[in-house]
Amino acid sequence: MTVTFLLPGSGHTPVGGYKVIYEYANGFARAGHEVTVISPAILDPAVPLHQLVYQSLRYLQRHIDKSYIPSRWFALDPRVEVAFVPTLAESNIPDADAVVASAWQTAEYAARYAVGKGRKLYLIHDYEHYRVAPAGVKRRICATFHAGFFNIVTSPAGEEMLAECGARVDAIIPNGLDLERYRIRVPIDSPERTLVAFPYRHEPFKGTDDAIAALELVRQRDPQISVWTFGRVPKKEIPAWIDFHPNISDDDLASLYNKTQIFVSASHYEGWGLPGSEAMACGAALASTDNGGVRAYGQHERTALLSPPHDPGTLAVNIERLLRDRALRLQIASEGHQTVQRFDWPRSVRSLTCAAKAAAAARS
């Protein structure tokens, strides 16, 4: 089977949604399928002229230095072909048995493709973007759910979004985890687990400012806590008491997770939330906002401590509970670790493969 995956941009920096597509591409390639991942330089040709010029120059630069390939942060199977194209126009897309859209903008393009580009599947990851979008963009996102794709969601948040749009869910396929990499190496009860962590993200709905505010409150009572974070290079200064790791590799991330006793997620909205589930797989206890996607693996008082979004005070209380109550932290960490063991990439790849084969057969 030949399969094309559509990304909304290049893979030069770590992005959770891109990581999901690359994992699927690897899984399909290992199973013997022909796989192409398409990354466009320009997602919206209707941008102002100065942006179009900048994006065009970036296109030339990335073609020369091959930075559209995620080699700095993700190990793609060499059998996966990565194509960097000007736009996702149909003329830039190879014929295939199945074509898989990811972000809603890629679905707008794919909805217009001829039948030769493949049966259309849609891995729907835009819950957080939908929640913060203006009305006009929300209508466009909803329209993609009615565009004839095989609609696949990953979590209860995705189901909720499609129900709100009056759209059909064809399959629920949870995101997978690399459980060979993200596993417990340092025992949950080890005194080596001294760190508290959170993901640093630029988008306001990721709640980075709320995480820092919550941890500031915790530090007022416990100034000795050691905090680290990771992500792209920040746009504003990070407090000096936070150890920042830019563009960290997966192996280094797994190592730090294993030194972490509590992982904090303060997102206002999440379609899934990869860092939280990865940290749980490595034995950290999760203190998270009830952001939607976390409900796929986080149950309050059992596998996580959940608090309302936009509420750093309550998030701080939950972090302090885990710091002070060792038995609670160990119980949350242990049950959380057990819960996420069912989210492995081979299982997710098999499910998506079955969906793609069924969709391709239905087309013929």
CB atoms under 10 Å from CB of 15, counted, come to 21
CB 196 within 8 A of CB 319: yes
Q: Check residue 182 and report its DSSP letter.
A: S
- What local confidence, expressed as pLDDT, does residue 184 receive? 98
Identify each DSSP E strand in 259-300 by its residue range.
Answer: 260-265, 285-289
Report yes or no on 275 lying in a domain. Answer: yes
| pTM listed for this prediction | 0.91
Q: Three-class SS of residue 59?
A: helix
CATH number, domain at 266? Answer: 3.40.50.2000
Question: Do residue 162 and residue 144 come from a single domain?
Answer: yes
Tell me the per-residue pLDDT of 21-36, one tens digit each, with 9 for 90 and over: 999 999 999 999 999 9
At residue 364, does pLDDT exceed 60?
no
Q: Across all residues in the chain, what is the average pLDDT?
A: 94
What is the Cα–Cα distance from 143 to 168, expressed in whole angstroms? Answer: 12
Domain residue limits at 241: 195-340
Residues 323 and 353 placed together within one structural domain of the fold: no
The closest alpha carbon to 158, from 225, 226, 102, 91, belongs to 102
Residue 312 within any structural domain of the chain: yes
Q: What is the pLDDT of residue 111?
A: 97
Q: Is the domain of 40 the same as that of 118?
A: yes
Co-location of 213 and 142 in the same domain: no
| pLDDT of the residue at 45 | 79
Domain match, 32 and 104 both: yes
> Domains in the chain: how many in total?
2
Please determine, for residue 14, whether its predicted confidence score (pLDDT) is greater than 90.
Answer: no
Do 10 and 60 belong together in one domain? yes
The answer to whether residues 142 and 252 belong to one domain is no
- Looking from the CA of 181 toward its CB, the CA atoms found within 13 Å total 15
Confidence of residue 248 (pLDDT cuts 50, 70, 90): confident
Q: Is residue 184 part of a domain?
A: no
Cα separation, 83 vs 73, whole angstroms: 18
Per-residue model confidence as pLDDT tens digits over 104-155: 999 999 999 999 999 999 999 999 999 999 999 999 999 999 999 999 999 9
With 70 as the cut, is the pLDDT of residue 359 above it?
Answer: yes
> Is residue 122 located within the same domain as residue 204?
no
